[in-house]
């Protein structure tokens, strides 16, 4: 009986959003909460789960296999596929969260992008910043959580680790593969990487 009631509730919610103009691909695979709020011209792809306290703005695309809970998605945002947006997250207008990205208790600024394979936790990202593939904000030291601040127009190279608490000032660059443990000054390049060693004509013994 409980499963039947849940099925009826979901169908009612799906029909409600379809009538309001939400575009759904495979609506029977999409799940909503009773308090979900969705704006105009929103597209939701198959196998999306929207948990409690989610507010979605206008002209938003939620791609397949994404999971959202207790977050705010502003206008013209793209999420997924395979993205997880955790509680107390705000995705500002025009931002993009790509595939296999997890965002927790963070603000992603206007037109900023976290496109691939990243974890963003307890972080504030400014406007027009790019977070490279494989970037991790190291927010937990085993005892307490700390915050990362990434200012406007910052470029974080792929496979970087930002060890909180740390601030990356505006218009700075973090080179790929870096482990950043100290704050980076405005318009600076921060790079922590071992020198590449090459042995010519090497043969295994």
DSSP secondary structure, 12-51, as one string: HHHHHHHHTT-EESSGGG-B--TT-EE-SS-EE-SS-EE-
Domains and CATH numbers, the chain: 1-105 (2.160.10.10), 117-190 (2.160.10.10)
Assess contact for 115 and 63: CB atoms under 8 A. no
Active site residues: 116
| pLDDT per residue as tens digits for the range 88-135 | 999 999 999 999 999 999 999 999 999 999 999 999 999 999 999 999
At 132 the three-state DSSP class reads coil
pLDDT at 1 over 60: no
Average pLDDT value over all residues in the chain: 96
| Structural tokens at position 176 | 């790929």
pLDDT at 143 over 80: yes
Beta-carbon contacts of 57 under 8 Å, excluding residues fewer than 6 positions away, are 39, 73, 74, 75, 76, 77, 93
pTM as predicted: 0.93
Beta-carbon contacts of 61 under 8 Å, excluding residues fewer than 6 positions away, are 42, 43, 45, 77, 78, 79
pLDDT of amino acid 197: 87
| Structural tokens at position 47 | 């196998």
Beta-carbon contacts of 16 under 8 Å, excluding residues fewer than 6 positions away, are none
């Amino acid at each position: 009986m409980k499963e039947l009631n849940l099925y009826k509730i979901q169908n009612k919610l799906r029909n409600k959003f379809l009538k309001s103009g939400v575009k759904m691909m495979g609506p029977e695979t999409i799940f909503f909460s009773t308090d979900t709020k969705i704006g105009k011209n929103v597209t939701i792809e198959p196998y999306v789960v929207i948990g409690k306290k989610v507010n979605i703005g206008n002209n938003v695309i939620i791609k397949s296999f994404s999971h959202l809970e207790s977050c705010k998605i502003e206008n013209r945002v793209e999420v997924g596929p395979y993205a997880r947006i955790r509680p107390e997250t705000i995705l500002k207008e025009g931002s993009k969260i790509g595939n296999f990205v997890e965002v927790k208790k963070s603000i992603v600024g206007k037109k900023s992008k976290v496109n691939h394979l990243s974890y963003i936790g307890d972080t504030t990202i400014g406007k027009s910043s790019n977070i490279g593939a494989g970037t991790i904000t190291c927010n937990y030291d085993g005892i307490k959580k700390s915050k990362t601040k990434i200012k406007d127009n910052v470029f974080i190279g792929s496979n970087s680790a930002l060890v909180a608490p740390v601030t990356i000032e505006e218009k700075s660059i973090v080179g790929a593969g870096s482990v950043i443990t100290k704050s980076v000054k405005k318009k600076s390049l921060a790079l922590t990487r071992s020198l590449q060693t090459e042995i010519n004509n090497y043969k295994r013994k």
